[in-house]
Chain A
């Protein structure tokens, strides 16, 4: 259902708008963190990686702010129907975005462990782009209360899982070719796994956005791939 007009109480619209803005800020932060972590990894920029790890605290603070606002909104505005669903979804999405930030942080932690050149590294930025685009698009769907856009993000998770599977096989082959590849390959495997998990979390957000917008649960997509 679309809204023909705002709330009679405009301060309520303002509160909801600020909460939505905060969630979007968190998403942008997480998205940038994924990209920066990958840049650090590719360029072996350990100094920047350390900064990125420390910056994750800011995302935790944004999450705490979102939680505080949600509790206040429920207490003071008593939201109903789609407003209630959106406010609850915001709280859950904030938690998930914070987890996505943690995965970016995990990737940054791997930077100093990665020694020597390893060819499959060139595959990872592409995978990271897919994952961060899912995060970007699902938050866009949230802002626009667009259930169909959320559904499309869900559908993209399969491609990310396939990407992960192919990287997994590539790295396995690498490790079998030369035992010296095992260390860096394992590091890359962790990174790929983190990116794959980010996709799963974006999918979870998409389900929340879909429910907030429609009041219906999005049918669970078939579980496939992505383990290893």
Chain B
């Protein structure tokens, strides 16, 4: 039977190559299992939205992809997360390589208490040996990509803390982009922002997916519907359903997904 609804904004084909291929991922906080045998392929140059009720494992998934959990002794992941053909969970995969290829933006803007320029240049000086001119170029590039350049170009030496919440969040995105990662993880990136700032970030996500693979965790289903090409629904640590966003929001195949997205959950 013909699908009635075609995906609206699929510039990158969802059937394209997987940038991130998660296979049999289990995640534990101590004895509590937070993710159960998750298999999920995330296509390159597309936005994959992760939705689900609190405690479903959304954020845990992001923590696993960039191995933040490595910092905590009681947390462990088993299975594979394959990025560009390499299992990043393997102990032989260097954490600094991973940080380089996976950038993360958090719920609340986390600017450093320094100038706008230094915020963006910070990670660059850590990873690369750049001349002053090159550094300035990379900072400008990152700020332009984050759609912030025009608003801050005349005040790069002022404190980042003086920016508005929405600007601070775009600064954090610029900081992430500066090291030129292939993957950007966004954990509720607009939940602390007003609708205009949110729209700007969403527009930015739309632009960025041409060059990056983006994973966004969001409680706002409208946002998932607006910005993503693929949507994955998690519940109690299970990946319940994953599909093209248009299909998930118009014709989900699993009852639990339907109950959640129509607001019948619980």
Spell out A's residues near B (CB within 8 Å). 1-9, 12, 78-85, 211, 215-217, 219
Contacts and interface: CB of A to CB of B under 8 A. Distances in A.
Given A81-B249, A216-B1, A5 B221 contact: no
Contacts of B255: 1-2, 4
B1 A82 contact: no
| Chain A facing B: main interface SS | loop
Interface of B: 1-2, 4, 221-222, 225, 249-252, 255, 257-259, 261-266
Nearest to B221: A80
Contacts of B264: 3-8
A81 B252 contact: yes
Contact of B266 (A8, A12, A79, A84): A8
A1 B225 CA distance: 21
A120 B263 CA distance: 55
Contacts of B262: 7, 79-83
A84 B249 contact: yes
A212 to B, nearest CB: 11
Contacts of A83: 262
With most chain A CB atoms within 10 A of its CB, the pick from B249, B262, B266 is B262
Contacts of A3: 259, 264
15 contacts: A2-B255, A6-B264, A8-B264, A9-B263, A12-B263, A80-B249, A80-B261, A81-B250, A81-B252, A82-B258, A82-B262, A84-B249, A84-B250, A215-B251, A216-B4
B261 A81 contact: yes
A217 B1 CA distance: 7
A8 B263 contact: yes
A81 B254 CA distance: 11
A9 B263 CA distance: 7
Nearest to A8: B263
